[in-house]
Structure 1
Amino acid sequence: MDTDIQPIVVLSRALDQAGDALASIRSDDWDKPTPCGDWSVRDLAAHLSATPGHFLQMARGEEVDWSAGPEGPEHDWVPRFRSDADDLIHHWHAQPADQAGQADWQSAELGVHTWDLVTALGRPLPLDDEVAERGLAFLQQGLTADNRGDAFGAPVEVAPDAGAYDRLAAFAGRDPRA
């Protein structure tokens, strides 16, 4: 496979698994707590559902309100997510090959929040280790104690042989053992 586009391929898989996690939400899940601060499944799902659209806004040079959720009722969130995800992948394929590596930060965002959602739902979904590995590598390059902000807690220590998603979640300040 052409390694120049591998970040885009991985981003596509990150979007697919996030969409699958969103589609697995049942009506009795909405008020469950998540590992993502004080967010409920509804709050997390709103954020995750809006993420591909926010990435597209950024790509167009628009200002993004990350606190804004998706428009419309909850049953419209997954189709909108998938549509925006397709548009995002098309956007990346239109970029010069030397820019593709920048897609890794989007995989990191999606990977962490997909793990948050799957964990909150308590139903296992298959997650792609390469999404977590690329996302973790990206975060480790630039996320420091000084720039973690409100979104990321201090890293949590995990066993050296922990799985890719446990390492990603732990680096993002989530405790995979909780």
Structure 2
Amino acid sequence: MEDMMPLMTRATERTAELVRAVRQEQLGLSTPCAKFDVKDLISHLEWVAALFESLARNGPRVEQGPYAGDFPERAKATLAAWSRPGVWEGTSPAMGLPMTTLGHMYLVDMVVHGWDLARATDQEYEPDPETVSRALHFTDRMVEMGRQRGAFGPPVPVPDDAPSFDRLLGVIGRDPAWTA
């Protein structure tokens, strides 16, 4: 899955840029992800980075801790863990899913939560088309499992001819037209 690393890297670095640009007074703003305000969303991203780093190292499923303000550093460690030889092979002992599936789950989180954060904090966000295509293809196949596990909400209708990113957002339960 060497072709995934550039996609994961671009999505992660873009989301880290967004996190770095958040101002203290924006931490309480609502986001398109109804469960989270901006601070909670960044805390969730910190957990995602820590979790997927652990999974890449065949470690345990880690629990979410309190907001630490260190997502960019955690994200670098996550990318380093996924860049190791052989990491994409086999199944995660902690999650019982193929490592390729987990890598795609991480990619979707980075792309969608990057958008959540950008929308909430009025930042520009345009994920690259190749990343969106890969995330949409994966999500189309895994959406029901994602809904069963509480990761995705009910679908939001979008036109069939909508841009790929809007279709990705709609399939996982985000309204592409959301504004604060």
Report the TM-score when normalising by structure 2: 0.80
Instruction: From the superposition, tell whether residues 147 and 140 of structure 1 become closer, same or farther in structure 2 (CA, over 3 Å).
Output: same
1:58 maps to 2:55: yes
* 8 A Cα contact 2:156 2:174, kept in partner: yes
Give 1:151 deviation, angstroms. 2.8
- Residues 103-151 of structure 1, C-alpha deviations (whole Å, 9 max, x = no match): 2222112111111111111221332222222112111112217843433
1:90 maps to 2:88: no
Query: Could you tell me how far apart the structure 2 residues matched to 1:125 and 1:57 are?
Result: 28
Query: Could you tell me how far apart the structure 2 residues matched to 1:5 and 1:114 are?
Result: 23
Give 1:24 deviation, angstroms. 1.6
Aligned partner (choices 45, 48, 54) of residue 45 of structure 2: 48
Q: How does 1:104-143 map to 2 (within 5 A)?
A: 104-143=104-143
Give 1:97 deviation, angstroms. 7.0
Specify every segment of 5 or more residues in structure 2 that has no aligned partner in the other structure, as ranges: 91-97
* 8 A Cα contact 1:52 1:88, kept in partner: no
1:22 maps to 2:12: no
Residue in structure 2 matched with residue 36 of structure 1 by the alignment: 33
Give 1:34 deviation, angstroms. 0.5
Specify every segment of 5 or more residues in structure 1 that has no aligned partner in the other structure, as ranges: none
Report the residue type matching 2:46 in the other structure. Answer: S
Highest RCO, 1 vs 2 (Cα 8 Å, sep ≥ 6): 1
**What SS does structure 2 have at the residue aligned with 1:154?**
coil
Residue in structure 1 matched with residue 5 of structure 2 by the alignment: 8
The structure carrying a bigger helix percent of its residues is 1
Report the TM-score when normalising by structure 1: 0.81
Query: Could you tell me how far apart the structure 2 residues matched to 1:153 and 1:83 are?
Result: 29
- Which range moves more in the overlay, 119-128 or 31-40? 119-128
**What SS does structure 2 have at the residue aligned with 1:144?**
helix
1:80 maps to 2:80: no
